[in-house]
Structure 1
Amino acid sequence: MQVSASAPSPVYRVRVAVPVYLYDCFDYSLSIEQYQQAQIGARVAVSFGRQNLIGVITDKLAPDAPLDPSIKLKAITELLDDQAILDSKVLSLLTWASQYYQFPIGEVIQSALPALLRQGKPYNLLARTWKLLDADAESKIKRSERQQEAYKVLKLHPSGTAENLLNLAGVETATLKALEKKGICECVLDAQDFSPMPVSMAQMPLTANPDQKKAIEAILKARKKYQAFLLDGLTGSGKTEVYLQVMQEVLKQGKQVLVLVPEIGLTPQTISRFQSRFHCNIALLHSGLNDSKRLQAWQAAQTGKASIILGTRSAIFTPLPNLGLIVLDEEHDLSFKQQEGFRYHARDIALYRGHLEQCPVVLGSATPSIDSYALVQNGKMSCLELNQRAGSALMPKIHILDLKIAQKQHGISQMLLDEMKKRLDKKEQVLVFLNRRGYAPVLICESCAWQAKCPHCDANFTVHRTPYQHLHCHHCGTIHRMPDHCPQCNHSELKPIGMGTAKVEDSLNELFPAYDVIRVDRDSTSRVGSWQKIYDKIQKSEPAILLGTQMLAKGHHFPYVTLVAILDIDSGLLSVDFRATERTAQLVVQVSGRAGRGERKGDVYLQTLRPEHPLLNTLVQEDYRQFAKQTLKERQAALMPPFRYAALIRCESKDQTLNKDFLQQQAQLLRQNSENMVDIWGPIPAPMERKAGRYQSHMVLLSADRARLHFYIRHWWLNMLHQKPSSMKLTLDIDPQELS
């Protein structure tokens, strides 16, 4: 008698991406009830090794799917979400990004979640509503201007208003809590309301000029399909007005708009433009928010409550159920490239997301990247040009000042100082640009020429004088006290050499004592809300000198600035990075574009020791577009990106010989396996060979065939990670934007 084998009992499994540096997802078992409830894109708590982690379900395997009997599956610890919090399109986007940038899928998915969700906190946070209790409390808050302003706003909403709306109106949570302590208002916790707010116009659009009209019509023609546009507009040519008029039509259809800006500093002025044009829910997503506010904004976007989502780089991964348009403002900006960990470029992710969502993508800039011009040249993007400034504003004229022959005070040309005084006397504003914060970049002994160098990096200490005198390494963060004598010869005369923004601020205060000097750099804007206060001060029509780093160059509208002074551009002309001239040209044009945006004509004065440099002459005699055409030809002749595709291997350890030997061995393996389809440069020491006490080496991989480059790298890179010494750190940067 023959006995039939019993069918194997079903095994209920899900595949989970966990936040570990491994390139696979992992199978976990669960009960039939859990299996029926589990959703792809939902979070689960799991045990991984000795850790308890929060993962995301990427697949539900069929109960009868083959299972290796030797594998003992772990059961999930808990289902954390009833519904998917990442939809299928976002999961597809994240999977593609993981494969393209060759970074572990679990880590990539985690980067798309707010911190509270990564920590396993519940999805539904209670909304905080603030309500006025005492309508006659003026006498209690006479000494605090902030509390008075908050009180006035609360009085306008007697039935209470949401904390995030109060924050958008400029009322800080700390101020509300201070009023709560005085019994003036109270905080009520309610369930979150995710119903969308109807969209209406708060203000009529401006009249578009012919260039703007042409651009608006072209983008709207593609609003139900994927098409990429490069909005190439001169500084002050009204790119934002083009965005707003296209957004108006997209919002009318009940669609959402995602707008990315490179810096947190640009969000206040951008959101004020949006709020003045549209009555709708706007979600802000950037690193300046606390965890609960970031989750609330993310939820508003993910549920469709927010119609406009404004954020920095990582907002590109936000789930949006009704996405109809993606806008990337200042698309050339390096801030869109993540430089640590998962090294994605938000511009390229945006283009792929537009393709997935079948919606248009608009990249805007006055100085588009050479990469974007190449996409236009190859027919992968349409170029829309704005060739005149909005209104009656004219482009500023650039003047080059030869520092070798100029008379100077405090390192500033006398001719420039005279021009600055003329503008200030006319009640106009002057912008002075120096891309170097601190007091001075070098501290030197006048007797033996000893220089204060960071003990951990191949770099000089920068001298800082606030909040106290000290030496600071801007590369590794090391801080030392200011020495009172030379450690080499004991001489007491130590001299700061060169200029940083803090030193120039002292000089300008001495040269122009009657006028405000407003410094804008990472040091002066480190406190929460400080940049907004500075920005509000600049917008007043009072004569002042604005002094700062590239924070001042990025898309800001300063209507009263008529003169821009660029104090030092030479370092950008001498870099070993082949993209340095592109970055320098963009910086010159962007900073120059802050001048003459109002009714008065602007001028730009550029101090240099190299007035004959071809880049400067192209910008002065022609324009950025001509520079870009020349650069494209040069890159093509040299077979450099974007005409070949690149990957950069960064190797870091305490032994440079170890780096070199390991990379040489790996290069040889790649040469053997890649059939000469990949060019290998290096290994070579990094431009800064020693940083934070560790030695850095680079290896650059180049190929004309992107698919083959990725194919050959994939297995080679995984083997490389397995073979490296434990003391060595390796990173892979696909499409690197910097060689530092």
Structure 2
Amino acid sequence: MLVQVALPVPLYRVFDYRIPADVNAFSSGSIPKVGCRVEVPFGRQTLIGIVINHIASADSSVPSNKLKAIKRCLDDEPILNEKMLTLAHWLARYYHYPLGDVLSVMLPSLVRQGKPLDLLITHWRVLPQVTDDAFRANAKKQKQQFDMLKLHGERGASEDVLLLEGMQRSFLKTLEDKGLIERYIQKRSAPTPVSLAKMPLDLNEEQQQAVDAIIAAHEAEKYSGFLLNGITGSGKTEVYLQAMQAVLETGKQVLILVPEIGLTPQTRARFASRFAAQIVLLHSGMTNTYRLQGWQDCRTGHAQIIIGTRSSILYPFANLGLIVVDEAHDSSYKQQDTLRYHAADVALYRGLQDQIPVLLGTATPTLEHLKLVDDGKLIEYQLRTRPGNAKPAPMQLIDARLQTTHQQTQDDGARYDTGLTDKLIGAIKQTLEAGDQVLIFLNRRGYAPVLLCEACGWQADCPRCDAHLTVHYSSQNKQNAYLKCHHCDWQAYIPAVCPDCGSQNLDAKGMGTTRLSENLHAIFANPQTSKQTYPIIQIDRDTTRRKDSWENIYQRINEGKPAILVGTQMVAKGHHFPNVTLVCLPNADRGFLSADFRSPEHTAQLMIQVAGRAGRGDKAGRVLIQTLQPENELLLKLVKDGYLSFARSLLQERKMMGLPPFSHAALIRCEGKTLAATTQALKDAIAGLPASHNLAILGPIDAPMSKKNSRYHSQLLLLAKNRPQLHQVLNQWWPSVLLMPSAKYLKLTLDIDPVGW
């Protein structure tokens, strides 16, 4: 008897190993079972792999005298059951990725390293005898952190969850030293049945139809894919909650996927306020120990509600009953390296595998999901009204060509352009004076996207990428000024003079969120120029880098005081700002002018999501879009007819052009030290295609960013009319491509169903 082991190596095969003569040396005292981890010799190193199969010695292609023995079996029982191994085989087959590497992606890092599965996590809780009188009047920060822990009740919470919510280890230690809180190791006992912590809300007719259909599919124990197509603020979350209730009451688990880490704490709070249940958060920001514990909780059934980002869809579940993919249109569900899977597609596969309902919720469905509805593979339920009959915020175009751009005066008397029209400034002022909040969306962080010499035209470019360096600084603190590449993170000081001509006329061109915030500060927050001042709250990756920063910003916004929020796409996804009644988009043209054929779709989705932040409370909202191309047909259709009509129009264009979702794509990327080498390798790959392939070929061409991080990138696109045809060609062709002589020393990757090229 031999065992076949999948190892984390980039080879499209499994490896045969013999069992030691003294099998009793294993802790189980028996042959390693399929799904267990084993430690094996591989060349000069020792690797940890997963047992995939048992075979007879006669069935091995390796001579018996060359077979090596397993060193150690790490598990008495399989850590991956048959269903998870089936999922791994499907992922490897569909995405044409080595099985061992697929399993490596599916497992937490500590499991891959061979650590035991029963690692314990530190929890913190408030001691019962402690009262608020224990704090001095000046210990406000300690009292705030204490109150945050107190909200978790008698059991407290794990350290990772507390850190995610903004608590700091130093304060936990201080409060422990003062005898106010204690740390403990929580014993893993069976969870109590889920109960309601708060009564459900009344549903309207559209919501009720969707909930009834999901519950019916759950009760029938059969797979159904649902597209919950609801305008922003239409109550999609309430549909999730009431569908979940029926599933949780039967003792099954529910998985909720969210697109970004920033959404997990508020999503947890929303579900925790409805259900008394074991809720587990899963995302890359957690420590390795916590992720291992979360993986175990999912596998053993201890976790009842699981909220996670895309990698959570690859976790094992004891008794999964429902999968919810929130903001299902979001491109962050697509993994862009290693195993290039799409979490929404894998969710549908797992629903079919487990015979459970899968719910894709969005206000802006992708064209792929609309095509699945048309093909009868998804059942669509539309939510077209907001609770209380609140109306969606109407969108209005401002023609920037006909409007005067607002000018400000610097300290030295020089005038500068704020990038905002007087009409937009007037609307912002009117909203603030009414006591409401304004959200201004600019999807470009930093101070300015380009540093330009006005004498000779020199631009500050990244030495490692085909990209301009972004200017980062604040006029209040120019000592910390620097240039940064947002693709490879290369940084440099801002030069005092032009490196080419020596001129001092260096100017930061364009506008990022920092510059926009400063311009708004000069207009609305400067007591020298404004009788009434308003806070400017900047929300982007630069201002939310610290662990507690996003929570602090969220708290400031929810105080409800008049303020201007300036943010990137971070503010567009799933946030509820009830006091925002005006949303402004000062730069709406960029996305409609991109060479990427998907860009209009993604731009429209982002615009609708941002627009949906307006008027979510009791007050009506409105959206102002500043544009230099008000006659753009796509923009006009989006504003006048709404997203669904816009998407249907794009879908018809895609059909005429034979582009996805009416064809199926595979993108081959090649990375190397020279562009000539990468291009030649892809030419050789085309020459190796079977003569009867019947595929459309685009390339080889330079990648959209041909140079990144000092490496050169070329790409090749294959399009097929039907999916089986594409995969049939790839099965034969792709392994041979990796073995080409010209591919040596190059990195070749295959992306099935790419989201852009």
**Partner residue, 2:756:** 738
Candidates 322, 332, 335, aligned match of 2:332: 335
Report the AA paired with residue 101 of structure 2. E
**Partner residue, 1:458:** 466
Any residues of structure 2 matched to 1:385-400 within 5 Å, and which?
A: 385-400=382-397
Q: Per-residue CA shift, 1:56-113, capped at 9, x if unaligned? A: 2222335775675355222222222222222221221121011101111111111111
Q: 1:553 to 1:479 in 2, by over 3 A?
A: same
**Partner residue, 2:415:** none
**Partner residue, 1:297:** 294
Q: Per-residue CA shift, 1:285-344, capped at 9, x if unaligned? A: 001111111122221111101111100000001111110000000011000000111111
Provide the C-alpha distance between the structure 2 equivalents of 1:154 and 1:407, rounded to a whole number of angstroms. 52
* Deviation, structure 1 residue 412: 0.5
SS at match of 1:391: helix
Any residues of structure 2 matched to 1:605-624 within 5 Å, and which?
A: 605-624=624-643
Candidates 732, 741, 757, aligned match of 1:715: 732
* Deviation, structure 1 residue 656: 1.6
* Deviation, structure 1 residue 197: 2.6
The answer on whether the counterparts of 2:165 and 2:548 sit within 8 Å (CA) in structure 1 is no
Candidates 575, 581, 585, aligned match of 1:556: 575
* Deviation, structure 1 residue 642: 0.5
Q: Per-residue CA shift, 1:207-229, capped at 9, x if unaligned? A: 00010011111111111110101
Q: 1:15 to 1:359 in 2, by over 3 A?
A: same
Provide the C-alpha distance between the structure 2 equivalents of 1:128 and 1:657, rounded to a whole number of angstroms. 54
Q: 1:470 to 1:237 in 2, by over 3 A?
A: same
Report the AA paired with residue 661 of structure 1. Q
**Partner residue, 2:683:** 664
**Partner residue, 2:646:** 627
**Partner residue, 1:507:** 519
Any residues of structure 2 matched to 1:646-661 within 5 Å, and which?
A: 646-661=665-680
Provide the C-alpha distance between the structure 2 equivalents of 1:711 and 1:405, rounded to a whole number of angstroms. 56
**Partner residue, 1:412:** 420
Candidates 76, 84, 104, aligned match of 1:90: 84
Matched, 1:677 2:694: yes
**Partner residue, 1:8:** none
Provide the C-alpha distance between the structure 1 equivalents of 2:666 and 2:61, rounded to a whole number of angstroms. 38
Structure 1 length normalisation: TM-score?
0.94
Q: Per-residue CA shift, 1:413-436, capped at 9, x if unaligned? A: 110110001111111010000000
Q: Per-residue CA shift, 1:541-598, capped at 9, x if unaligned? A: 1111111100000111111100000121222111111101100110111111111111
Q: 1:161 to 1:625 in 2, by over 3 A?
A: closer
Matched, 1:326 2:334: no
Matched, 1:50 2:44: yes
Per mean C-alpha deviation after superposition, the further-off stretch among 246-255 and 519-528 is 519-528
**Partner residue, 1:439:** 447
* Deviation, structure 1 residue 627: 0.8
Provide the C-alpha distance between the structure 1 equivalents of 2:389 and 2:640, rounded to a whole number of angstroms. 22
Matched, 1:108 2:133: no
Q: Per-residue CA shift, 1:635-676, capped at 9, x if unaligned? A: 000000010100001112222222222212211221xx1514
Candidates 442, 453, 456, aligned match of 1:448: 456
SS at match of 1:75: coil
**Partner residue, 1:7:** none
Matched, 1:706 2:723: yes
Provide the C-alpha distance between the structure 1 equivalents of 2:499 and 2:10, rounded to a whole number of angstroms. 45
Provide the C-alpha distance between the structure 2 equivalents of 1:118 and 1:173, rounded to a whole number of angstroms. 28
Any residues of structure 2 matched to 1:148-159 within 5 Å, and which?
A: 148-152=143-147
Per mean C-alpha deviation after superposition, the further-off stretch among 687-696 and 519-528 is 687-696
Q: Per-residue CA shift, 1:433-480, capped at 9, x if unaligned? A: 000000000111121121111112221111001681001011121101
Matched, 1:24 2:13: yes
SS at match of 1:253: coil
Report the AA paired with residue 459 of structure 2. Q
* Deviation, structure 1 residue 363: 0.4
Matched, 1:375 2:372: yes
**Partner residue, 1:262:** 259
Percent identity (aligned) = 48
Report the AA paired with residue 413 of structure 1. T
Report the AA paired with residue 94 of structure 1. A
The answer on whether the counterparts of 1:408 and 1:414 sit within 8 Å (CA) in structure 2 is yes
Candidates 117, 123, 129, aligned match of 2:111: 117
Per mean C-alpha deviation after superposition, the further-off stretch among 179-188 and 121-130 is 179-188
* Deviation, structure 1 residue 149: 3.6
* Deviation, structure 1 residue 373: 0.3
Q: 1:348 to 1:491 in 2, by over 3 A?
A: same
* Deviation, structure 1 residue 41: 1.9
The answer on whether the counterparts of 1:444 and 1:450 sit within 8 Å (CA) in structure 2 is yes
Provide the C-alpha distance between the structure 1 equivalents of 2:727 and 2:136, rounded to a whole number of angstroms. 63
Report the AA paired with residue 257 of structure 1. V
SS at match of 1:718: helix
Q: Per-residue CA shift, 1:16-38, capped at 9, x if unaligned? A: 21111111121222244447352
Q: 1:595 to 1:155 in 2, by over 3 A?
A: closer
SS at match of 2:625: strand
The answer on whether the counterparts of 1:445 and 1:495 sit within 8 Å (CA) in structure 2 is yes
* Deviation, structure 1 residue 144: 4.6
Matched, 1:496 2:508: yes
The answer on whether the counterparts of 1:304 and 1:320 sit within 8 Å (CA) in structure 2 is yes
Any residues of structure 2 matched to 1:590-605 within 5 Å, and which?
A: 590-605=609-624
**Partner residue, 1:207:** 202
Any residues of structure 2 matched to 1:107-256 within 5 Å, and which?
A: 107-130=101-124, 135=130, 143-152=138-147, 161-163=156-158, 171-182=167-178, 184-189=180-185, 192-223=187-218, 224-256=221-253
Report the AA paired with residue 700 of structure 1. L
**Partner residue, 1:639:** 658
* Deviation, structure 1 residue 282: 0.5
The answer on whether the counterparts of 2:120 and 2:293 sit within 8 Å (CA) in structure 1 is no
Report the AA paired with residue 93 of structure 1. L
Q: Per-residue CA shift, 1:331-390, capped at 9, x if unaligned? A: 110000001111110011000000000000000100000000000111111111101112
**Partner residue, 2:280:** 283
Provide the C-alpha distance between the structure 2 equivalents of 1:480 and 1:122, rounded to a whole number of angstroms. 44
Q: 1:131 to 1:550 in 2, by over 3 A?
A: closer
Where structure 2 has 5 or more consecutive residues not aligned to the other structure, the ranges are 407-417, 526-532
The answer on whether the counterparts of 1:15 and 1:60 sit within 8 Å (CA) in structure 2 is yes
RMSD: 2.1
Report the AA paired with residue 172 of structure 2. L
Provide the C-alpha distance between the structure 1 equivalents of 2:516 and 2:660, rounded to a whole number of angstroms. 38
**Partner residue, 1:402:** 399
Provide the C-alpha distance between the structure 2 equivalents of 1:99 and 1:485, rounded to a whole number of angstroms. 56
**Partner residue, 1:691:** 708
Matched, 1:477 2:489: yes
Report the AA paired with residue 211 of structure 1. E
Report the AA paired with residue 28 of structure 1. Y
The answer on whether the counterparts of 1:401 and 1:605 sit within 8 Å (CA) in structure 2 is yes
Provide the C-alpha distance between the structure 1 equivalents of 2:67 and 2:607, rounded to a whole number of angstroms. 59
The answer on whether the counterparts of 1:283 and 1:298 sit within 8 Å (CA) in structure 2 is no
The answer on whether the counterparts of 2:166 and 2:547 sit within 8 Å (CA) in structure 1 is no
**Partner residue, 1:15:** 4
Provide the C-alpha distance between the structure 2 equivalents of 1:720 and 1:655, rounded to a whole number of angstroms. 19
Provide the C-alpha distance between the structure 1 equivalents of 2:107 and 2:388, rounded to a whole number of angstroms. 42
Per mean C-alpha deviation after superposition, the further-off stretch among 628-637 and 691-700 is 691-700
The answer on whether the counterparts of 2:124 and 2:183 sit within 8 Å (CA) in structure 1 is yes
Provide the C-alpha distance between the structure 2 equivalents of 1:378 and 1:392, rounded to a whole number of angstroms. 32
Provide the C-alpha distance between the structure 1 equivalents of 2:117 and 2:4, rounded to a whole number of angstroms. 21
Report the AA paired with residue 639 of structure 2. V
Q: 1:58 to 1:602 in 2, by over 3 A?
A: same
Report the AA paired with residue 751 of structure 2. D
Matched, 1:39 2:33: yes
Where structure 1 has 5 or more consecutive residues not aligned to the other structure, the ranges are 1-10
Provide the C-alpha distance between the structure 2 equivalents of 1:418 and 1:130, rounded to a whole number of angstroms. 50
Matched, 1:585 2:604: yes
SS at match of 1:483: coil
